[in-house]
Amino acid sequence: MPLCLLPNRLLPLPYCPLITCHASPAALRSSPSSPPPTLPNLLNNTTPVPSLSCALQCPHFQSCSGCTHELNLHRPIIVDEADQFFKSVGVSDFDFDSSRLWGWRSRAKLAVRGSSMKPLIGLYEEGTHNVVDIPHCKAHHPNINAAVELLRQGVTKLNIEPYDEDEGTGELRYVQMAVTTYNTSLPAPERYKNGKVQVSLVWNSRNENSHNFEKLNALANFLWRNGGPKSDVRFIHSVWANFQTSTNNIIFGNRWRHLLGESGFWEHAGGIDVSLSPSSFGQANTRAFDILLRKLQKYVPYGASVTDLYAGAGAIGLSLAATRKCRSVKCVEVNKESKLSFEKTVERLPNYVDSSISWHLADTSVEPLSWLMGSEVVVVDPPRKGLDASLLDVLRTISSLERKAKSAPESSYSKVKDEKRPWVLRAMKDSVQIGSKPALEGSESLPQTLIYISCGWESFKEDCKSLLSSKKWRLEKAHGFNFFPGTQSIEILAVFKRGQRAGLKKKKSGKKKKRL
Residue 509 lies in a domain: no
- Across all residues in the chain, what is the average pLDDT? 84
Query: Is residue 360 classed as helix, strand or coil in its secondary structure?
Result: strand
Q: Do 295 and 171 have their domain in common? A: no
Say yes or no to pLDDT of 36 above 90: no
Residues 234 and 322 in one domain: no
Q: Compute the average pLDDT of residues 73-87.
A: 96
Task: Reply yes or no on whether the pLDDT at 6 is more than 70.
Answer: no
Tell me, what amino acid is at 265? F
How do residues 471-514 score in pLDDT, each as one tens digit?
A: 999 999 999 999 999 999 999 999 999 987 665 544 444 544 44
Confidence grade of residue 446 (pLDDT, cut at 50, 70, 90):
very high
CB 8 within 8 A of CB 139: yes
Residue 10 lies in a domain: no
Dist. CA 489–CA 60, nearest whole Å = 19
Opening angle at CA 156, ends 150 and 158, nearest 5: 95
Tens of pLDDT, residue by residue over 370-417, are 999 999 999 999 999 999 999 999 999 998 787 776 666 554 444 444
CA-CA-CA-CA dihedral for 214, 215, 217, 220, to nearest 10: 180
Domain boundary (237, 267, 297) is at 267
**Residue 438 buriedness (CB in 10 A; 0-12 / 13-18 / 19+):** exposed
489 contact partners, CB below 8 Å, separation of at least 6: 76, 78, 455, 457, 483
**Do 315 and 398 fall within a single domain?**
yes
Share of the chain above pLDDT 70, in %: 80
> Is residue 82 scored above 90 in pLDDT?
yes
The predicted model gives 84-100 an average pLDDT of 96
Task: Tell whether the model's pLDDT for residue 247 goes beyond 50.
Answer: yes
Q: Coil, strand or helix: which one is 425?
A: helix
| More confidently predicted of 373 and 47 | 373
Q: How confident is the model at residue 424 (pLDDT cuts 50, 70, 90)?
A: very low
**What pLDDT does residue 430 have?**
63
Are 205 and 243 in contact by the 8 Å Cβ rule? The answer is: yes
For 248, the domain range is 107-267
- 61 or 133, which is more confident: 133
d(CA 235, CA 194): 8
What is the pLDDT, as a whole number, of residue 406? 66
CB 197 within 8 A of CB 177: yes
Per-residue confidence band for 347, with pLDDT thresholds at 50, 70 and 90: very high
Among the listed residues 16, 64, 455, 464, the single catalytic one is: 455
84 found inside a domain: no
Same domain, 374 and 427: yes
Boundary of a domain, candidates 213, 238, 267: 267
Q: Judge whether residue 109 has pLDDT over 50.
A: yes
Per-residue confidence (pLDDT) for residue 399, from 0 to 100: 83
At residue 502, the pLDDT reads 61
In a domain, 176, yes or no: yes
Q: Is residue 76 part of a domain?
A: no
Clarify whether residues 327 and 470 are in a common domain: yes
d(CA 81, CA 244): 42
Q: Report pLDDT for 434.
A: 77
Report, as an integer, the average pLDDT of 310-322. 96
Q: Which residues contact 203 (CB under 8 A, 6 or more apart)?
A: 171, 172, 173, 210, 212, 216, 241, 242, 243, 244
Q: How far apart are CA 3 and CA 249, in angstroms?
A: 9
Q: How far is CA 388 from CA 13, 119, 247, 382, 392, in A?
A: 39, 41, 30, 8, 6
* Mean pLDDT value across residues 180-197: 87
Task: Say yes or no: 454 and 308 in one domain.
Answer: yes
Q: Do 219 and 168 have their domain in common? A: yes
- If phi over 0 gives left and psi between -120 and 50 gives alpha, with beta otherwise, what is residue 323? alpha
> For residue 380, what pLDDT is reported?
98
Query: pLDDT grade, residue 165 (50/70/90)?
Result: very high
Average pLDDT over residues 152-178: 97
The dihedrals phi and psi of 217, each to the nearest 5 degrees, come to -60, -40
Residue 57 to residue 137: CA distance in whole angstroms: 10
Same domain, 254 and 160: yes
Is 455 one of the annotated active-site residues of the chain? yes
Most confident of 16-20, 452-456, 512-516: 452-456
Q: Which amino acid is at 159?
A: N
> For residue 515, what pLDDT is reported?
44
Detail the residues annotated as belonging to a binding site for S-adenosyl-L-methionine: 283, 310, 333, 381
Answer whether residue 82 is part of any domain: no
| φ, ψ at 291 (rounded to 5°) | -60, -45
CA–CA gap between residue 10 and residue 142 (Å, rounded): 5
3-state secondary structure of 305: strand
pLDDT tier, 317 (very low <50, low <70, confident <90, very high otherwise): very high
Which CATH number covers residue 125? Answer: 2.40.50.1070
Most confident of 39-48, 96-105, 106-115: 106-115
What integer pLDDT is reported at residue 428 of this predicted model?
52
d(CA 6, CA 201): 19
Using alpha carbons, list the distances in angstroms from residue 362 to 140, 340, 367: 34, 15, 10
For helices 389-396 and 398-407, give the axis angle rounded to 10 degrees. Answer: 70
For the stretch 363-377, pLDDT in tens is 999 999 999 999 999
- 222 and 116, same structural domain? yes
* Pair (337, 455) in one structural domain: yes
Q: Are residues 258 and 192 in the same domain?
A: yes
* Whether residues 169 and 140 fall in one domain: yes
- 239 domain-assigned: yes
pLDDT for position 185: 80
Nearest Cα neighbor of 278 from 361, 341, 213 is 341
Count how many domains the chain has: 2
Asked whether residue 362 is domain-assigned, the answer is: yes
CATH of the domain at 384: 3.40.50.150
Binned at pLDDT 50, 70 and 90, residue 43 comes out as low
* Amino acid identity, position 262: E
Q: What is the mean pLDDT of residues 286-294?
A: 96
Of residues 135, 116, 113, the one with CA closest to residue 124: 113
More confident: 144 or 57 = 144
Q: If residue 109 lies in a helix (H) or strand (E), which one and from where to where?
A: strand 107-114
Checking if the pLDDT of 516 tops 50, the result is no
Q: What are the CA-CA distances from residue 263 to residues 267, 292, 347, 516 (Å)?
A: 14, 28, 16, 74
